[in-house]
Structures are given as C-alpha cells and as structure tokens.
Amino acid sequence: MKILAIETSCDETGVAIYDEEQGLLANQLYSQVDLHADYGGVVPELASRDHIRKTIPLIKAALDESGLSASDIDGIAYTAGPGLIGALLVGASIGRSLAYAWNIPAIEVHHMEGHLLAPMLEDNPPAFPFIALLVSGGHTQLIKVSQLGHYELLGESIDDAAGEAFDKTAKLLGLDYPGGAKLSKLAQSGDSHRFHFPRPMTDRPGLDFSFSGLKTYAANTIQQHQPLDEQTKADIARAFEDALVDTLVIKSKRALQQTGYKRLVIAGGVSANITLRQQLTKMMDKIGGQVYYPRLEFCTDNGAMIAYAGMVHLKAKQSADLSITVRPRWPLSELNNG
C-alpha cells in the first residue's frame, strides 16, 4: 500500500509518499519561515495562500522523487486538524479532490497523532504501550498510549505551550523569529549558576503544565538587567531553558510512575531540543526505561508522519467520505477506538 500525504496545518507545506513494505519513498517540505519573519509570527491568511501556491508543485515533486505516477498511489492522507482553519482547508480540499479524481480512498489524519507516531518511521520503533510527550508551538501534552488508536490525555498546558513559551521568551531577548531554536543555541554559552528560574507546577500533584508564569519571570529578569549584554542574554536563556526542560522531565517521570510504563516517546518541534533529549535520556536510564525520538527532520511538521498515520488507518479499512471537513480544535482522545 502506497500512501500520498499532505500536511498543511500551519506554516509548513509537507508532502510525502510512504509504502508499507519499502518505507518512506518521498518527503518534500517547504517552510514559510521567511514569509512570516517580518511579522514576528504566523499570519494565517498568508499561510493559507502560500499553501495554495506550494502544495500541487510539492505533490508533483514527491511523485518525481519516488518514481511513481498517480496510478501507483493507493490512498491519500491529509491533515484535518488541529491547526489553522484556512491552512487545513487547502490540504483537505486538494487531498479529498485528488482521491476522488484518482478513484482511491482518502483519510483524515489528526496532526498530533501524526507527531505521536513519527518515531514509528525509525529503524527501532517503540512497542506499545508507552507515554507520549508531545511538545510543540501549539501543544504540550502527556498522553497514555495503551495501543494504536487508544489515547488518554494525562496532562496538558493550561496556558502557553512549551514551544510558544520558547518563542515568546526569545522575542523578549531580541532574537529573530522563530526564536525557540535561537534561544537554545544562545543558552549553550550561558552560565547555569547565575540565574535560577522556577519549575512551574512541579510542587503540586498532577500532570498539567503552565509556562506563562515562567515567561513572565524571564521578562522581569530581563527588565531588571537592562541594558542587556550578550553574556547576560545567554545566562537568562540558559536559566529559562533549564527550567522548562526540568519541568518537562519531572512531569514525564511522574506520568511513567503513575502508569508503570517504561517507554517514553517524545515528539513535536520542541523534541528537537538537544538539552531536553539529553535530560530525558538520563532520566530514563536511571529508571531502567527507554526513550524514543523521531529524527530531527520529523520533529517539526512534515508529510512523512501524516503518511504513516494515514497508512495505518487505511489498512484498518477507515476512510473519509466525500465531504471536506476540517477541525481547528480536535482533542486527540476523540480518536479512541473502543
């Protein structure tokens, strides 16, 4: 079974082709970072228009890359949510229309399930059950995954997501958009002992997160040390990153203890953070568990993860009808099969 997938949930246009026997055959990705940089964040209308321009050329490029034609494709998968409604409608409309024209089934894919299953694209995929830490610009969630299609939300951010907190704090430090990765790079030269930021909500029971207070603490620290020299910027970046990473590690360990699971999956854009990977690996080694990550190119939004998720659902004889619907807000728990 060969699946062509389209991902257009936000500011990256991804198209991929996945074969259940041969694996990933093509992976095309276009980022809109430069388009939105002047505005300091994603402009939804501009994002939608750019997806319209880029999706069809990327589909053609993916077919060329794989050496396939339309007649070789067995199904179409597309991201139906969550995400920006205009952006989602572009991918859904193109995906559903192609499936109709090619007389093959189409499947709606949940964006976060795509991230959750991204480590399955690797040579050493995790076995079920496991805990999934999904960390991106829009989501910070701990999910209990008992088996494929059975997802239980254990905790989530009640305000800013981890990636959002990274980007907002980077902006406070005067770093260009998107600033999360730039903040992490700056933190590498920071002094970990100069500032100590709070680890929010780790002193109380539960698995929910809150990062808005951490961002405010960073803002106050920045204000108190004006004008900022480069070393102070680096020291603040280090303190912020250490606090956010420690919080994610503490909550992940708590989720593992509550469930008794020994496998942890981390996915989403923030899963590319080197410090987070190092600390989670250290924590899992101490408790005798194992942590799984997607490769760096599959941490951010991409078509490959949507293709894999689509293949799984189409193999289970699931498909979308002819209507074109998207869901900007779509709880992952609503996917549960039984």
Q: What is the pLDDT of residue 111?
A: 97
CA angle 263, 268, 272 (to 5 degrees): 85
pTM, two decimal places: 0.95
Question: Residue 313 annotated as binding?
Answer: no
Residues listed for the chain: 338
Q: Say whether 273 counts as a known binding-site residue.
A: yes
Query: Which burial class, exposed, middle or buried, applies to 61 when counting CB atoms under 10 A from its CB (0-12, 13-18, 19+)?
Result: middle
Please report the pLDDT score of residue 337 as a whole number: 58
State yes or no: pLDDT of 338 exceeds 50: no
Would you say 252 is a known binding-site residue? no
Percent of the chain with pLDDT over 70: 99
Write a three-state SS string for 149-218. Answer: CEEEEEEEECCCCHHHHHHHHHHHCCCCCCCHHHHHHHHCCCCCCCCCCCCCCCCCCCCCECCHHHHHHH
**Domains of the chain listed by start with CATH number:** 2-117+298-335 (3.30.420.40), 126-293 (3.30.420.40)
According to the annotation, is 23 in a ligand binding site?
no
List pLDDT tens digits, range 127-144.
999 999 999 988 999 999
Nearest to 264 by CA among 46, 162, 116: 116
Task: State the pLDDT confidence band at 212, using cuts at 50, 70 and 90.
Answer: very high
Say whether 213 counts as a known binding-site residue: no
CA triplet 256, 145, 73: central angle to 5 degrees?
145
Check: CB of residue 301 under 8 Å from CB of residue 9: yes
Tens digit of each residue's pLDDT (9 = 90 or more) over 276-335? 999 999 999 999 999 999 999 999 999 999 999 999 999 999 999 999 999 999 999 898
Asked if 338 contacts 39 with a C-beta cutoff of 8 angstroms, the reply is no
Answer yes or no: is 98 a known binding residue. Answer: no
Contact of 161 with 136, CB cutoff 8 Å: yes
Token pair 């500032």 is found at: 195
Render pLDDT for 238-264 as a digit per residue (tens, 0 to 9): 999 999 999 999 999 999 999 999 999
Running DSSP on this structure, what letter comes out for residue 21?
T
Tell me whether residue 242 is annotated as binding: no
Q: What is the pLDDT of residues 90-121, one digit of tens each?
A: 999 999 999 999 999 999 999 999 999 999 99
pLDDT of the residue at 336: 76
Residue with tokens 């680890």: 199
Strand partners, 266: 133
* Tokens (6 digits) for 125: 């995929």
24 is in an annotated binding site: no
Contact (Cβ atoms closer than 8 angstroms) between residue 43 and residue 27: no
135 is known to lie in a ligand binding site = yes
Structure tokens given for 189: 């030269």
Residue 81 has pLDDT above 70, yes or no: yes
